Amino acid sequence: MYIAHGPISYLANEAIQSKKIKHLKMGEQILVALCALLFGILPDFDILLLSMLNVPRFIHHEVVTHTPIFYIGIWAILKGLIYIKGRFLNKKTNKTLNNDLSHILANTFLIGTLSHLFADFVVDSIMLLYPLSEHKFYLIKYIFEPNLFAIFPFSVMDSIEILFIALFIYALYKKFIKKNKIVDISLKVLILIGALYIPFTIWASSNTYNRSYLYGEDNKVIQDIDYDSISDGQDPDVGNTKEDNLEKVDSDKLLKEAEGIMTSGKWTNQDSYPLMEKIKDSFGGFSSYRIISQAHYNLKLPIEPVLKDYHIKKYGFESYFYSDYEYPTLLFEYLEEKEMLGGIEMKEDTLLTPGKIFFLVEKAPNHVDRVFSARENIMEELNILNLGIVLEESNLAIVLKGDEYLTRHTYEEVREIYNGGFILYVQR
């Protein structure tokens, strides 16, 4: 969950303490509202603490500051301090922080922090019973596993956040803003859209290939299998073998993953309707490159960190973000430079080794094989028509124009579609 912790905390606090809050002065109600927002995001401040201790931030759900007992303990201390605050606060401060306001603020702390943990329990996992147990509990984390290629707001988890944010905005409007019929109707429509977006994302999720968690040998999610403080999804050398992830891929295992992806029958990012094509792409429908990326990711050997690292070392740092259009070129360059590619003419009797990456590169006039050394030449002269993974029985894991769902294609189909106007480069 990204930005809804504060809004959820505010809504929960208003629902639970509404009668007591109504009796406060407006200034005090604003203070309670601000504290509810702050306390709602407070548990995530352990990220800063971990950073100061040089501990990777991605394990913050596994530390004591993300357990209910931690905040219940602090709340009990706060409640105790309220009863003795008159002994150390002066009269003016004690009057301002009267008992009613103090108890409401203490309860707001408990409601805000526990609502944060409950939200994490719903969409992620936390140690609910710590210190009795370090087992992490969850609700829908594995039911609606996010898609690897869909960014915010295109997941079921994101749609839940959006609804709570809409409810939060409406609650603020009702309590603190002048009433306006147009604004009122607009916000109600926003809530309705948010509510309808949830089943829409559930439907989209059921049609996409969703696997973004990395699993260990015990089939449990693990974020750093080699304990090198780099999340495996961002690690170019998972396992610390001194070889990057692309260099240590087992072709047989890659073949198995590619077969599993292609037989899933899930969305591609292609469609006959332009709007639907954009929707499918945003929700993580597969392109040919995404097939390759997901197959490697399933093996806990993500290739994007390798390609980003390669790009930085060769061309310098340019951006935090790379697109699906850049990665195929980077992948081709990387394999070519490592002398892991071979170019051949694709004929009817061509036999390729299953589990290998291939590229269809446009055959330029007077084409000769060459190694591209400058980025300008790569971008201007290299036209990758398509790419994929070689399967068994003359099949290819590739997405062709018009494929609305993942399906295997034969060599012959590909040759006919591109009229043989390409050179086939295959990973050695």
Q: How far apart, in whole angstroms, are the C-alpha atoms of residue 355 and residue 423?
A: 19
Each residue's pLDDT tens digit, 87-132: 888 888 888 889 999 999 999 999 999 999 999 999 999 999 999 9
Under the banding of pLDDT at 50, 70 and 90, the label for residue 370 is very low
Average per-residue pLDDT for the chain: 91
pLDDT at 86: 79
Under the banding of pLDDT at 50, 70 and 90, the label for residue 371 is very low
pLDDT at 155: 96
Higher pLDDT, 352 or 173: 173
Each residue's pLDDT tens digit, 158-172: 999 999 999 999 999
> Could you tell me the two tokens for 312?
């930085």
pLDDT over 80 (residue 350): no
> Could you tell me the two tokens for 119?
């939200």
Q: Which residues of 311-347 are buried (b: 16+ CB within 10 A; e: fewer)?
A: beeeeeeeeeeeeeebbbbbbbbbbbeeebbeeeebe
Calculate ∠ Cα 374-380-383, nearest 5°. Answer: 110
Q: Where are the alpha helices (DSSP H) in 61-148?
A: 68-84, 91-96, 99-123
Q: What is the mean pLDDT of residues 67-76?
A: 98
**388 contacts: CB under 8 Å, gap ≥ 6:** 288, 291, 292, 357, 358, 396, 397, 398, 399
CA-based max dimension of the chain: 94
- Cβ-in-10-Å burial (0-12, 13-18, 19+) of 129 comes to middle
pLDDT over 60 (residue 21): yes
Each residue's pLDDT tens digit, 384-400: 999 999 999 889 999 99
pLDDT over 80 (residue 378): no
Q: How far apart, in whole angstroms, are the C-alpha atoms of residue 406 and residue 404?
A: 7
Each residue's pLDDT tens digit, 180-221: 999 999 999 999 999 999 999 999 999 999 999 998 777 788
**264 contacts: CB under 8 Å, gap ≥ 6:** 209, 406
pLDDT at 364: 67
pLDDT at 322: 79
pLDDT at 366: 52
